[in-house]
Structure 1
Amino acid sequence: MANIKDVAKLAGLSVGTVSRVLNNRGYISEETKNKVHEAMQQLNYVPNELAKSIFRQYTKTIGVMVPFVTHPYFGMIVQYLEHYASKMNYKIILCNSYFERDKELEYFRILKGYKVDGIILCSRNMDIHDEIQEGPPIVSIDRILSNEIPYVSSDNYQGGLLATTHLIEKGCKKIAHICGSPTLHMTANLRSNAFEETCRKNGVEPIVVATNEDQFSSMTYYNNIQKLFQKHPDVDGIFASSDIIAAQVIQIAAKEGRRIPEDLKLVGFDDVNIAALTAPPLTTIHQPIKQLCKYAFELLLDEIKGEIVPMCTILPVNLIERSST
């Protein structure tokens, strides 16, 4: 079995230079990198990550925990986190928790056992803070877990303000907001706060339709939307708390003969891929998901290095106007 000395001999380089290429340390010319990679391929040499991690005292792996990787929003988070991790020669261990507190805690114990350097957590459970105090550094996305765990989030209040103001400026008089579960203390709840406050400031009585966690996991909101149309047949504007909800509003409105945007104007939230694919294309609040992941990963790296990091990072959002308004 080939070792690093064999790679160095074949490449005509010192063992130290090969080591710097493998660990991405210091300036190394592209020519030198190519020599090392070609020698590795010829010798079928694969670096022993475990041995390297023991020497360096870190494993170059991070845990990423999400509720559902099949949800478009969390799918994009995983995609971008893996992208930034790969750029820094990190690998991710993906944990799909399905909202289950016990599963999250079990995954946390497993990640500790694998000695990951840190964890990026997209948790929807409220009471796991005490269980995860001791362990690798953690950064949370879209969730305030405690005053000791840094988190990164979009400006949800500004998003709610932009969406509601847009509907009012488009002439809507009876506006509904379909939101997530109000029992969860999520940063996304600020969207609802902004909706209600903006409506009242403009003399519009807010209509709020709350959904639950089972619907979030199944991504099925048809009953809520149908009940909204039955109870408020004259609703002329809807601010949906996700593009998934908004896409289902479009489907049900079409079945009931409600024309969008002529009879009903609609704004979503997230700006995931589906937003541009609906008919009509969806006006929505763009969350900077790529930047969220970049900041989260950089914060985690700083924590791993022992640096002091900000506890709260809020990124701006903007409204993307398409044909649904």
Structure 2
Amino acid sequence: MQPKLKDVAKLAGVSVATVSRVINDRGYLSSGTKEKVYQAMRQLNYSPNSAARALRGKTFKLIGLIFASVENPLIAEAVQKIENQLFEGGYKAIICNSLDNPAKEQQYLKMLMANQVDGIITGSHNEGLKEYKMSGLPIVSYDRYFPSPIPTVSCDNAAGGKLAANTLMDKGSEKLMLISGSLEKIPRNADRVTGFNQAVEAVGQKSTTVRLRFNDTPGIKRAMIRQQLSAYQPDGVFCTDDQTALLCLQEAKSLGMKVPDDLQVIGFDGSQYVQQYHPELSTIVQPIDDIVDLLVRILFNRLEQNDDQLLDRYVLPVSLLQRGSLRK
């Protein structure tokens, strides 16, 4: 549970009225009394802004959404669907775009607690922020692994990697390349890489790996992809996200490689944007509707304190969308 005004008062050894006077800077109070209240607030991670709301006895039914980057088409789609479902359930959303910045995410967490949100859905990548543990809020994670009691909902990333590898090999690719985003910043990429490599090793084949950093610009990614395509000359490529896969297709075309005859390419995510505007790309599709439905359902259960039967992790199946970048 979130700390309340009376919790601060008890820890500081003063009355609730005194805590309120300190927060609102009303009347004379000794510096010692003020310091005791401030110390108790810091220890409990209690935000002054929440006090006014608590005193008014109002509830705004707010949910915080923290994601690394809503520029990603799949994340933008997920956030929109989550916001819609929350609204239908009587809640409003505060959307926070952390841009993979731990300090920014930390400030957003403090802001959400200050506004006394009722819960949080997070899909960011920064680990170890103490505010998650100290918030006392119901929290659900999308594709980010927290220790219990924060449940995680994700697609089967490892199975998706295996599906990509087996598809490429079944369709005749022998010289495979894996182009991966950050493994340190985005743990799901590690699962996709592991699944892909396990499938390749199971049949005695080998692949080469290209690692891209999370904050590489599209221009840097293009240059690295172009250099590796030229040097290695693969006939099958799996990219751990669709945006990278689209860059790969563009660079392959600029090098004169024919897709899918010379090179087959598979991405991962399968957002509606990619499906509608890039029919040239084959991809592993996340079941985003089911993921969003489960995220919101679990959060509502936690809000109602009906979370005794919740699991630590929920893993949903993926599927292959075969289109122009794969041979028939």
What TM-score, normalized by structure 2, do the two folds share? 0.78
Give the letter aligned to residue 211 of structure 1. Answer: L
Q: Secondary structure at the match of 1:187?
A: helix
* Pair 1:54–1:305, CA change in 2 (3 A): farther
Matched, 1:77 2:63: no
Cα distance, 1:124 vs structure 2? 0.9
- CA distance in 2: counterparts of 1:93 and 1:175, whole angstroms: 43
- The corresponding residue for 2:227 is 227
Cα distance, 1:289 vs structure 2? 1.4
Q: Secondary structure at the match of 2:243?
A: helix
- CA distance in 1: counterparts of 2:99 and 2:186, whole angstroms: 18
- CA distance in 1: counterparts of 2:162 and 2:201, whole angstroms: 12
- The corresponding residue for 2:26 is none
After TM superposition, list the pairs within 5 Å mapping 1:27-66 onto structure 2: 58-66=59-67
- CA distance in 1: counterparts of 2:121 and 2:134, whole angstroms: 15
Q: CA contact under 8 A between 2:65 and 2:96: conserved in structure 1?
A: yes
Give the letter aligned to residue 244 of structure 2. Answer: I
- CA distance in 1: counterparts of 2:60 and 2:297, whole angstroms: 17
What do residues 53-84 of structure 1 show as CA deviations (whole Å, max 9, x unaligned)?
A: 966x7432100011111221211111111111
Cα distance, 1:202 vs structure 2? 1.4
What do residues 77-120 of structure 1 show as CA deviations (whole Å, max 9, x unaligned)?
A: 11111111111121100111111111111111110111111000
After TM superposition, list the pairs within 5 Å mapping 1:263-274 onto structure 2: 263-272=262-271, 273-274=273-274
Q: Secondary structure at the match of 1:133?
A: helix
- The corresponding residue for 2:200 is 199
- The corresponding residue for 1:132 is 132
- The corresponding residue for 2:235 is 236
Cα distance, 1:159 vs structure 2? 0.5
Query: How many pairs are equivalent?
Result: 271
Give the letter aligned to residue 99 of structure 1. Answer: D
Give the letter aligned to residue 222 of structure 2. Answer: Y
- The corresponding residue for 1:209 is 210
Q: CA contact under 8 A between 1:285 and 1:317: conserved in structure 2?
A: yes
Give the letter aligned to residue 204 of structure 1. Answer: Q
- CA distance in 2: counterparts of 1:182 and 1:83, whole angstroms: 31
Cα distance, 1:256 vs structure 2? 0.8
- CA distance in 2: counterparts of 1:219 and 1:88, whole angstroms: 42
- CA distance in 1: counterparts of 2:159 and 2:218, whole angstroms: 28
After TM superposition, list the pairs within 5 Å mapping 1:97-246 onto structure 2: 97-128=98-129, 130-135=130-135, 136-184=137-185, 186-215=187-216, 221-233=221-233, 235-246=234-245
Matched, 1:312 2:322: no
Give the letter aligned to residue 242 of structure 2. Answer: D
* Pair 1:220–1:86, CA change in 2 (3 A): farther
Q: CA contact under 8 A between 2:284 and 2:319: conserved in structure 1?
A: yes
Gaps of 5+ in 1: 1-49
- CA distance in 2: counterparts of 1:263 and 1:78, whole angstroms: 37
What TM-score, normalized by structure 1, do the two folds share? 0.79
Q: CA contact under 8 A between 1:243 and 1:275: conserved in structure 2?
A: no
Q: CA contact under 8 A between 2:110 and 2:131: conserved in structure 1?
A: no
* Pair 1:277–1:107, CA change in 2 (3 A): same
What do residues 128-170 of structure 1 show as CA deviations (whole Å, max 9, x unaligned)?
A: 1x33212211111101022221110000011011111000000
- The corresponding residue for 2:322 is 321
* 4+ residue runs over 6 A deviation: none
- The corresponding residue for 1:293 is 292
- CA distance in 2: counterparts of 1:306 and 1:277, whole angstroms: 42
Cα distance, 1:197 vs structure 2? 0.9
Q: Secondary structure at the match of 2:188?
A: coil
- CA distance in 1: counterparts of 2:167 and 2:134, whole angstroms: 45
- CA distance in 2: counterparts of 1:246 and 1:286, whole angstroms: 13
* Pair 1:298–1:207, CA change in 2 (3 A): same
What do residues 267-308 of structure 1 show as CA deviations (whole Å, max 9, x unaligned)?
A: 110012224433x62111010112211111111111111122
Cα distance, 1:220 vs structure 2? 5.8
